[in-house]
Structure 1
Amino acid sequence: MSETDISKDRLRLWLRLLKATRSVESALRENLRQEFTTTLPRFDVMAALSQHQQGLKMSELSSVLKVSNGNVTGIVERLVEDGHVLREKVPGDRRASRVRLTSAGDAEFARQASAHESWIDQIFTGVAPEAAQTMAEALDAVARRLDNKDTAP
C-alpha cells in the first residue's frame, strides 16, 4: 500500500469518525433534552464537577472542558439557579470563585450519568468489545500525540 493510499485511508477514517461523533452527539443532545430537559453543555459541566468534588475555579473548569470562560459562565449560572451548583468565593482572590456540585446536583448528575451510559451502550451495541478496545487505544494515541504537540509526520 502506497503512502498516498495510507493518507487517503486516514482521511476517510477522520471523516467517518467526525460523522459518527456528530450523530452520537446529536442523539445524546436529544435524549438529554427529552428525558431531563437539559443540554449537553450542562451535562458536561456537571460531569467535570463530579470528578472534582472539592470544586473548580471557573478558569479551571474552562480548562477541563477546553472551552472559554465565557462559554462556562452562563451554563454555571443556570445550574446555580437550578440548585445543582454552588458558587463560593476563593479566599485571597476577590475576583475568583469556585464552583462545585450541591448534593442535589450530585444526585441529579448521577441520574443523568446512568441514563447517558445506557444510551452510549445502546448506540455502540454493534461494536464488538475487542474492536471498542482497539479503537479506544488508537484514539487515545492520537489524543496523546496532539496533547504533546508532537504533530510532525
Structure 2
Amino acid sequence: MPLDAETALADTPPGHKDELRLWLRLLTCANLIEAEIRRRLRVEFDTTLPRFDLLAQLERHAAGLTLGDISRRMMVSNGNVTGLAARLEEEGLVERRVSATDRRAQSLRLTPRGRREFARQSAAHEGWVAELLGGLGAAEREALHRLLGRAKASVQSGLQENGP
C-alpha cells in the first residue's frame, strides 16, 4: 500500500502541530474514499467521477443548467465541462437547449435515459459510501459529522479573518 502523508508523519518529533496531523488525517480519508469511488465507477459503470458529478448537478436541476453554472458548481473550467457535456450528449444522457433567458447561452439537462442511468449510478454510489464508512456506528457517524461541521466553521471563520 502506498505511503500517505499521514503515515509519513507518524514518527514526527514531539511538538509537531496537532492541527497539521488532523488536516493530514482528513485529507488521507478523503483521498482513500475518492480513489475507491473512482475505481468502482470505472469498473462497474465504465465512467468517471467528473461525469458522475456532472450528471448529479443536472439531476438536482431538472430545468437544466448553463455550462457556466455547471463549471462553477463543479469548480472546474468551462472547457472541462464542454468536453464532458459533448461526450454525454453523444451517448444520449444529456441534451443541450438554448437558454430561455439568454439566447446566446446553452443549457444542459438530463434526458430520460440520463435520468435512468444516473439513478443506477447514484444508488450504487450511496451503497459504496455506506460500505466504506460502515465500520463506524451511528453514534460515531453523528459525532464525526458534528465535529466536522465545527471544523468547517473554524476554517470558514479563519478565511474571513484573513480576507481573500
Do the two structures share a fold, i.e. TM-score over 0.5?
A: yes
In structure 2, distance between residues paired with 1:79 and 1:146: 36
Q: Indicate the residue corresponding to 2:141 in structure 1.
A: 132
Letter in 2 for 1:115: A
In structure 2, distance between residues paired with 1:151 and 1:77: 41
Q: Indicate the residue corresponding to 2:54 in structure 1.
A: 45
Instruction: Pick from 128, 149, 160 the counterpart of residue 150 of structure 1.
Output: 160
Instruction: Pick from 130, 144, 147 the counterpart of residue 121 of structure 1.
Output: 130
Question: Following TM superposition, by how much is the alpha carbon of 1:135 offset from its aligned partner in structure 2, in angstroms?
Answer: 2.2
In structure 2, distance between residues paired with 1:80 and 1:119: 27
Give CA-to-partner distance per residue, 1:12-37, whole Å, 9 cap, x none: 11101111111111111110001000
Could you say which structure has the larger radius of gyration? 2
Measured at CA, do residues 147 and 65 of structure 1 come closer, stay the same or move farther in structure 2, by a change above 3 Å? farther
| Identity among equivalent pairs (%) | 42
Alignment gaps of 5+ in structure 1: none
Q: Indicate the residue corresponding to 2:88 in structure 1.
A: 79
Q: Indicate the residue corresponding to 1:89 in structure 2.
A: 98
Say whether the 8 Å CA contact 1:145–1:151 is kept in structure 2: no
Question: Following TM superposition, by how much is the alpha carbon of 1:93 offset from its aligned partner in structure 2, in angstroms?
Answer: 2.7
Alignment gaps of 5+ in structure 2: 1-14
- RMSD between superposed Cα atoms in Å: 2.1
In structure 2, distance between residues paired with 1:18 and 1:115: 24
